Amino acid sequence: MGNDVISEITRFPVANAVKAIAQNVTGVRVPLSGHWIPEEQPQFVIGQLLKFFVNTR
């Protein structure tokens, strides 16, 4: 594997695992969050969901 592939796998391991069963997967880092992302960064999560659903119409 090249460094770019290794970097992508380690950046978003969950997103890359989900790609095995889903067609439209995007990984993002959520700033200033820990384990409870929707509770810690609700506006960020809402923004990402809106962006996803608008782009999949």
Rg value, the chain, Cα? 13
**15's tokens:** 């997103």
More confidently predicted of 51 and 14 = 51
Predicted confidence (pLDDT) per residue in 11-34, tens digit: 778 888 888 898 888 888 898 988
Q: How many CB atoms lie within 10 A of CB 36?
A: 8
Question: Could you give the maximum distance between any two Cα atoms of the chain, in Å?
Answer: 37
Claim: this prediction has a pTM higher than 0.85: no
